[in-house]
Structure 1
């Protein structure tokens, strides 16, 4: 008689709990998107279908400025974070295991384990000293802060891709007298590219919607789109914020879908 394997779906109440959890997670998002098409000013009373809040939000010069600033910071930070993460992944997977390697993993992934508020306060103190010493008040601090915070988000998919790659191809390249650079450029890098792109997209999304670190590090007049929306919601909930949120949600869904397609295992 064949033994029955354990299945969580057979636990009493499992289906009900799963439905409640999904409703709690996604029903507010569905409501946000729905009310971004509300013709009225109310965020609680449906007054008819309309697309007017989308062009209205984009016609706001301040919204355009903070959106461009957010995209610039996220793009530069994701490139920097992905470059550093790629080097870190190569250094931790393409070498013999040594003592202290666990400590290296811990240091790379530290921003994931430490509360973000702690990282934000530390960056505030560190950059405040630099501001006093140099007088520089530009976006460089936000870019550096986002880059540092996003490194582990880019590192994880890149490292996972490296660990899943067959090393025999690199060994074969070395046997054919390829230099380390040639083996990396023509063998390792093409195979690693999906992981790099996935890591960069994950870092981009993480930087784009960051609030806590941005609030602590930014100078006056350096609002990003999330901090601008937060400031608007503190006073009231303008309907165009729903439209902006819906567009950010769409961008995030697209990026995460591409991330899934790049990192899924292929038969």
Structure 2
């Protein structure tokens, strides 16, 4: 029983996870306008997708937001993680820990609503930001994603050998140089992982962006959700297939680079 159960369970798990994705890719080449009825092989919906300015514009906005949010979240999350791991006690440590971990457990609806109220209050009192748009989405996504980056960076900093930093300080390096010359290179893989996670979370977010966006600043998930509510169209399948293709290529490149690094290291 043990001989066939494990392969069967693994096969069932892969089928359960990837069969819907495979069917989506197949039906992206469907000639028929009905997504559930096969009408023959065709690439017409990829052409329709490339002519859809709303989809292309929202995709560009999502990429801008995701890149900016992931970069800012990585900087903020890394600084927060460094403070929590390298300074054992200081005034406000408990508050900072709570602020970092709160977005991890807070429902996105509550996060989006609270940020909306914050932006409205800031506009009334400070005059900035003037309305909701690209800037408010970036700020909201940075706030949300920084917590995830901080957790990843904090775990890497705790497992790091602090004697490396102590040796650099004994040789006369200042705190800033120790951080950039010793600490940062060691935790760089964790920061890359955090940046990629933040980029993915921002690109995928719908709830928070729906609260803090404004006219002309609809992200790709918002546009797709509005289209799906009226019925799934084949061009959405084409868009999803293109995204899957990009992700697959990125994973293959990352795997190849990792194997290359391991071979050099071995």
Q: TM-score surpassing 0.5? A: yes
Equivalent residue, structure 2, for 1:177: 172
Equivalent residue, structure 1, for 2:135: 140
Equivalent residue, structure 2, for 1:243: 238
TM-score norm. by structure 1 comes to: 0.83
Q: Check if 1:168 corresponds to 2:160.
A: no
For residues 132 and 235 of structure 1, do their structure 2 counterparts lie closer, same or farther at Cα, with a shift above 3 Å needed?
Answer: farther
CA distance in 2, matches of 1:18, 1:102: 43
Q: Deviations 1:117-154 (Å, cap 9, x if unpaired)? A: 11111112222223444270242111111110111222
Q: Deviations 1:167-219 (Å, cap 9, x if unpaired)? A: 11111111111111111121111112111111111101100110001111111
Q: Report the more deviating stretch, 190-199 or 124-133.
A: 124-133
> Aligned match of 1:121 in 113, 116, 119?
113
TM-score norm. by structure 2 comes to: 0.84
For residues 18 and 121 of structure 1, do their structure 2 counterparts lie closer, same or farther at Cα, with a shift above 3 Å needed?
Answer: farther
> Aligned match of 2:38 in 40, 46, 52?
46
Matched length: 258
Q: Deviations 1:81-136 (Å, cap 9, x if unpaired)? A: 11100101111112236798566444312112111111111112222223444270
CA distance in 2, matches of 1:255, 1:150: 21
Equivalent residue, structure 2, for 1:62: 54
> Aligned match of 1:74 in 66, 69, 82?
66
| Runs of 5+ consecutive residues of structure 1 not aligned to the other structure | 1-8
> When you count helix as a share of all residues, which structure comes out higher?
2
Equivalent residue, structure 2, for 1:152: 147
Equivalent residue, structure 1, for 2:82: 90
Q: CA deviation at 1:17?
A: 6.1
Q: Report the more deviating stretch, 88-97 or 212-221.
A: 88-97
RMSD of aligned Cα (Å): 3.1
| Runs of 5+ consecutive residues of structure 2 not aligned to the other structure | none
Equivalent residue, structure 1, for 2:192: 197
> Aligned match of 2:181 in 175, 178, 186?
186
Equivalent residue, structure 2, for 1:3: none
- Secondary structure class of the residue paired with 1:150: helix
CA contact (8 A) 1:198 1:259 kept: no
Equivalent residue, structure 2, for 1:223: 218
Q: Check if 1:33 corresponds to 2:25.
A: yes
Q: CA deviation at 1:78?
A: 0.8
Q: CA deviation at 1:65?
A: 1.1
